[in-house]
Structure 1
Amino acid sequence: MNHNSLQSLSIDFNQDKEGAYKKVFQRSPLVSSQSVGWDNLSIIYDRQPAIELPKTSLKQHCIGILTDIPSTIQTDRIIDGRFVEEHNIQGDLIIVPANTTHQAAWYGEGASVAIAIDPTVFAQTIYEVVDPERIELLPQFATPDPFVYQIGVALKSALLKHGTSSRLYAETLINALIIHLLENYSTTRQNSFEPIAGTLPKYKLQQTIDYIHACLDSDLSLNRIAASVQMSPHYFSRLFKETTGFTPHQYVINCRIERAKDLLKQGKLSIAEIAKEVGFVDQSHLHRCFKRYVGITPKTFSQQYRS
């Protein structure tokens, strides 16, 4: 790897989307948030052979999670001019803050999840916890982080399923990731956080429920639900769960199942039509969720109701 490379490739995921990845790797990834229609997120899952990457500078915070590493991979990495020879293992986390140069060469094959988080989104997520002006995300060479690894595996699964409800799930995971990064990989002292406590006011809870029911057949996103009651996604999620006992994602799935039950009882629509009507991707997606939540399939539920 050329440690003295002066020219840096400028990368902006907001502007170029998946094209930003192509600039670095000269090809499309296996799957990305853009390819599955999650336009407000920048998540990529890809498998990489041994490769040397050019020197880059991203406009976004870049989080790499090594999700599928069958055996230790030697990697030469430079972040912000500092060189480290890594021995990467499954579960490693790498952080390259926005506007920080990064260069790497690795000597084995593996797969990873990469997430680009815009600094403004990072600030909006944390502003009800701590003053964003007082924190700075720190560069992080490969280090094991079990919590982030689980988030990476869950994001990979959500991307590969790319269901309507998976987008809301992915947003929830990204928000949890941002708070974890804030607490563990930033300059902010732990004792400067203000704990989030309390519940949603009744009128905001009702506004949320009304919004969810009105938009149940659409691609509901955590950001939109939170914005409907003028709250940040992270703060809203915490208070919503404290109030209802459910995460927003769980609540939406429950609402979709309950509406599907009503439509199955009416017997006017096919199961495939009901799936679309209540916001599931297709009949098999409804089938999986219905069986998990109700214990029987939609078809069995319909037959039992009629008998």
Structure 2
Amino acid sequence: MKEFKTLEPVNFIREKEAGYKRIFRRLPLVSSVSVGWDDLCIAYDQYPPGELPKILVKQHCIGIFTDIPSAVQAERKIDGRLVQEQNVQGDFVIVPANTSHQVVWNKLGGALSIAIDPTFFAQTIYEIVNPDRIELLPQFATSDPLIYQIGLALKSVLVKHGTTSRLYAETLINTLIVHLLEKNSVLCRNSSEYVGGKLPQYKLRQVIDYIYAHIDRDLSLKELGTVVQMSPHYFSQLFKETTGITPHQYVIRCRIERAKDLLQQGKVSIAEIAEQVGFVDQSHLHRYFKRLVGITPKTFLQQFQK
């Protein structure tokens, strides 16, 4: 492997796609920036055979190989350790923040890249462990079914409905962080771990009222957690314990209920209703409405008008 001059440290939180361009000399095919997900740093791209210069990134970086038609031979160096590896679909790589990374590979492949700020990582896990005693470990290419599924799901929402799927994306990122905490970290659990807790009813009411008051917006876990003064991960955990479903699933159901009310009123078109309740377009509403109600919005409207 050739030795390159180390690039100036990259800070994806500040630089966003400009940081990506400094490394790869192009913009990614799609990213969290292009779909308007504030505070998230996610990109999907296709990578022809090539080499990555030696870099340091201010964030924890996770690469998930989502589209590898055939095995890719690679030489990867993380923090000075060189490994000859074979990358296949479903593999992932971890490069902790401020750790040197360099790689050369021989075939085209598609991958999802995620940069997680160490502060956000700590905020997500602080109710589980003392974040000051956590060290995220480097990981050369290896497989993990859950991480692969998270990568596929994130790629899908980026490409299809990114502009209204931030809450779902944040849920996936939180799941990824907790999984990395369990599988790829050196940690010492403390006494502040919460098991089996539920949201007090008044806090649950606050969140539900907030959701309905802002149903047309692309709500985030951070935003909903702030309503009840909780971290995104802890809020998400307690919300699911309390309601039996994730915040994202609950918001979708609220949108469908509001859509049903508007359909019954018969004052605006289905396309306008979709926009008013926070879906991308009429087809996006159609898909979730049929999944949850069992019929399409049009059929629902026709039945109500009889």
CA contact (8 A) 2:128 2:190 kept: no
**Would the alpha carbon gap of residues 163 and 57 (structure 1) be closer, same or farther in structure 2, given more than 3 Å must change?**
closer
Partner Cα distance (1:102, 1:302) in 2: 57
Deviation, structure 1 residue 190: 6.8
Please say if 1:256 is aligned against 2:255. yes
**After superposition, where does 1:14-163 map in structure 2 within 5 Å?**
14-163=13-162
Deviation, structure 1 residue 20: 1.0
- Give CA deviations for 1:180-236 in whole Å, capped at 9, x if unaligned: 011110111579883532100111111111111111011111110111111011111
CA contact (8 A) 1:62 1:114 kept: yes
Q: Please identify, of 35-44 and 163-172, the stretch whose mean Cα deviation from structure 2 is larger.
A: 163-172
Q: Report the 3-state secondary structure (helix = DSSP H, G, I; strand = E; otherwise coil) of the residue aligned with 1:301.
A: helix
Amino acid at match of 1:47: Q
The TM-score normalised by the length of structure 2 is: 0.97
Partner of 1:286: 285
CA contact (8 A) 1:164 1:220 kept: no
Partner of 1:245: 244
Partner Cα distance (1:289, 1:10) in 2: 43
Q: Report the 3-state secondary structure (helix = DSSP H, G, I; strand = E; otherwise coil) of the residue aligned with 1:43.
A: strand
Q: Report the 3-state secondary structure (helix = DSSP H, G, I; strand = E; otherwise coil) of the residue aligned with 1:10.
A: coil
Partner Cα distance (2:187, 2:297) in 1: 50
Deviation, structure 1 residue 163: 4.1
The TM-score normalised by the length of structure 1 is: 0.97
Deviation, structure 1 residue 104: 0.4
CA contact (8 A) 1:265 1:305 kept: yes
Q: Please identify, of 238-247 and 186-195, the stretch whose mean Cα deviation from structure 2 is larger.
A: 186-195
Deviation, structure 1 residue 6: 4.6
Deviation, structure 1 residue 65: 0.4
Q: Report the 3-state secondary structure (helix = DSSP H, G, I; strand = E; otherwise coil) of the residue aligned with 1:70.
A: coil
CA contact (8 A) 2:52 2:103 kept: yes
Structure 2, unpaired ranges of 5+:
none
Deviation, structure 1 residue 288: 1.0
**Equivalences, count:** 306
Q: Report the 3-state secondary structure (helix = DSSP H, G, I; strand = E; otherwise coil) of the residue aligned with 1:11.
A: coil
CA contact (8 A) 2:12 2:41 kept: yes
CA contact (8 A) 1:196 1:238 kept: no
Q: Report the 3-state secondary structure (helix = DSSP H, G, I; strand = E; otherwise coil) of the residue aligned with 1:47.
A: strand
Partner Cα distance (2:192, 2:70) in 1: 38
Partner Cα distance (2:25, 2:161) in 1: 24
**Would the alpha carbon gap of residues 190 and 92 (structure 1) be closer, same or farther in structure 2, given more than 3 Å must change?**
farther
Amino acid at match of 1:268: K
Partner of 1:194: 193
Partner Cα distance (1:156, 1:22) in 2: 19
CA contact (8 A) 2:215 2:255 kept: yes
CA contact (8 A) 1:7 1:55 kept: yes
Partner Cα distance (2:70, 2:277) in 1: 44
Deviation, structure 1 residue 176: 0.3
Partner Cα distance (2:232, 2:11) in 1: 23
Deviation, structure 1 residue 93: 1.0
Structure 1, unpaired ranges of 5+:
none
Partner Cα distance (2:8, 2:195) in 1: 40
Identity %: 67
**Would the alpha carbon gap of residues 54 and 35 (structure 1) be closer, same or farther in structure 2, given more than 3 Å must change?**
same
Q: Report the 3-state secondary structure (helix = DSSP H, G, I; strand = E; otherwise coil) of the residue aligned with 1:55.
A: strand
Partner Cα distance (1:300, 1:186) in 2: 51
Partner of 2:265: 266
Amino acid at match of 2:137: L
Please say if 1:171 is aligned against 2:170. yes
**Would the alpha carbon gap of residues 165 and 7 (structure 1) be closer, same or farther in structure 2, given more than 3 Å must change?**
closer
Partner Cα distance (1:171, 1:132) in 2: 19
